[in-house]
Amino acid sequence: MKQNPKIIYNREEMCDLNIKALKSRGVEIADIAAIAYKQQSKYTPTISYDRCVESVLRLLTYRDIFHYIQLGIEIDRLAEVKAFREPIQSIIEQDLGLFGCDETIGLDIARNYGTIGQTNFGDIDVNKVGIVRDLNEQGKTPGHVHTFLDDIVGALAAAASTRVAQMHNEDIALEGDNQVDIFELAKSHGRTKKI
Ligand code: MG
């Protein structure tokens, strides 16, 4: 009996499939982490590049993001082989400025890290640095479509950059006298069971 293809993956598998899919389109984890680092180190010079890499990898394990990456890359690939019908084939292939569905996906990925995540995505989307700029330029050459991928990569960088900023703030908050043990605090609010 023919088995249905697998559709549910665990986080490690999703991360692995995402790394492979991004690589197949010329994007390395280091390229995304580099944009996150460049963006966030402007505000906080002491952040570590390794945290940017770790943040990108963590994002790649989230199911919603997995679906967006797999879908966006597949749309670009299908547009490259002209598999869509008109008018959407040319709209995607030529990356129409007012199309916007690609930015919607980018914004939704960045939304995982709130308003700051979204404004950071806007910054990368407008200023196009690093691999986002390369994808954008290559997408204008014949046979290449990166309409969805440039936004997905920009959004991953923005989300990672924002996560690193939040981790840095948590580090500051835990310094000195501000340390709070939430489990001890919860006891004073009537918590009796381990949560
Ligand atoms: Mg785009």
- For residue 103, how far is its CA from the centre of ligand 1 (angstroms)? 6
- For residue 182, how far is its CA from the centre of ligand 1 (angstroms)? 42
- For residue 88, how far is its CA from the centre of ligand 1 (angstroms)? 14
Burial class (CB in 10 A: 0-12, 13-18, 19+), 26: middle
Domains of the chain: 11-188 (1.10.3760.10)
Q: What is the dihedral of CA 61, 67, 73, 76, to 10 degrees?
A: -160
Question: For the whole model, what pTM was predicted?
Answer: 0.89
Mean pLDDT of the chain: 93
| pLDDT tens digits, 151-185 | 999 999 999 999 999 999 989 988 865 556 766 77
Mean pLDDT over 76-101 rounds to 97
Residues with Cβ–ion distance below 5 A, ligand 1: 102, 147, 150-151
Residue 109's pLDDT is 98
pLDDT at 10 over 50: yes
More confident residue, 52 or 181: 52
- For residue 184, how far is its CA from the centre of ligand 1 (angstroms)? 47
Q: Tell me how far the alpha carbon of residue 193 is from its chain's centroid.
A: 36
pLDDT at 195 over 70: no
**Other Cβ atoms within 10 Å of 68 Cβ, number:** 21
- For residue 186, how far is its CA from the centre of ligand 1 (angstroms)? 46
Mean pLDDT over 10-21 rounds to 97
End-to-end CA distance of the chain: 45
- For residue 99, how far is its CA from the centre of ligand 1 (angstroms)? 9
Residue 181's pLDDT is 73
% of the chain surpassing 90 pLDDT: 85
